[in-house]
Amino acid sequence: MRRTTALLLTSLLASAAVLAAPTAAEARASADNPTTGSCVAYPSGPFGVGVCSGLEPRRAWSVSAKCMSGLTVTSGLRLGDGTATANCGNSRVYTTQVSIGPILP
């Protein structure tokens, strides 16, 4: 009886540890990279435009645009909320994307 109880208890504790491990990892990941705020990216003629709002003031981000000519251009680094553009020059924009980086000290 004791052996069966110990076996069941060990099995139960192992199952709880397996279920709790991803939750602890997710908590660490969200603390390192909080997902506050939102960003959108869209093409506008020869510009790739990125707009971010609700970001922490020290959160780094930029926008990049892949041009129809095959080049990929990137805006300068931005911090916090704002708008950034990547200029394809005489070419039109094929795709646009916002890249969010770390919180700077």
User: Could you tell me which residue, 18 or 1, shows the higher pLDDT?
Assistant: 1
Tokens of 53: 């709002």
pLDDT at 29 over 80: no
- Decide which of 98 and 12 is more confident: 98
Q: Which tens digits make up the pLDDT trace of 38-92?
A: 999 999 999 999 999 999 999 999 999 999 999 999 999 999 999 999 999 998 9
Q: Per-residue pLDDT averaged across 90-99, rounded?
A: 93
Mean pLDDT of 5-14: 40
**Which residue would you say has higher pLDDT here, 93 or 2?**
93
Q: By the 8 A CB rule, do 20 and 56 touch?
A: no
| pLDDT at residue 27 is higher than 90 | no
Q: Mind giving me the DSSP string for 29-88?
A: HHHHS---SEEEEEEETTEEEEEEES--TTEEEEEEEEETTS-EEE---EESSEEEEEE-
Is the pLDDT score of 26 beyond 80? Answer: no
Which letter does DSSP use for residue 1 in this model?
Answer: -
Residue-range domain boundaries for the chain: 1-32, 38-103
pTM: 0.65
Task: Report which of 39, 38, 44, 95 is spatially closest to residue 65, judged by C-alpha positions.
Answer: 95
